[in-house]
Amino acid sequence: MSSASGTWITPSFGDYFSLDDILTTNERVPCKIELPIPKLGSLDSSSKEEDLKPGTKLDLPYWLAAPLLSRRIVSAEVPKVYRETYREILGADAVAVDLYRLQPQYYKFGLLIQRLPVSDVEYVNNSLIEMTKM
């Protein structure tokens, strides 16, 4: 995005009163628990355990996943909508694909995912670049 003066405007994340930011940071990130987390077993609806055990896979909202990732308590994957298979689907007939159905906050969430320490972040970069070309 650029303004009339030609300077770049970056989207704001963390604006407390922005409904867009609230919706974007509520989007889910696929995560795997790396360390035991006591008393949070209720986050995993498929388990009756009181604690979260290493290896448990959960989809966590971005606002929770980001600080856990920075502390290496969880590891994360790129959400499937940004992976190569979805890029191929979008590239085949982008006009017929409803981005809102795939990912309601596709562009803003993609920018947030790029900030996370995930191994396949180039998929997100490529997806966003390809979608802006169409």
Cα-Cα-Cα-Cα dihedral of 45, 46, 48, 50, to 10°?
-60
- How many whole angstroms separate alpha carbon 34 and alpha carbon 97? 35
Residue entry with tokens 């191994």: 119
Q: Which of 28, 20, 16 is nearest to 80 (CA)?
A: 28
User: What's the pLDDT at 118?
Assistant: 87
pLDDT digits (tens, 9 = 90+) for 7-23: 443 444 567 788 989 99
pLDDT digits (tens, 9 = 90+) for 64-84: 999 999 999 999 999 988 887
The whole model's pTM is what? 0.79
User: What's the pLDDT at 2?
Assistant: 39
Q: Give the chain's domains with CATH numbers.
A: 19-133 (1.20.58.2050)
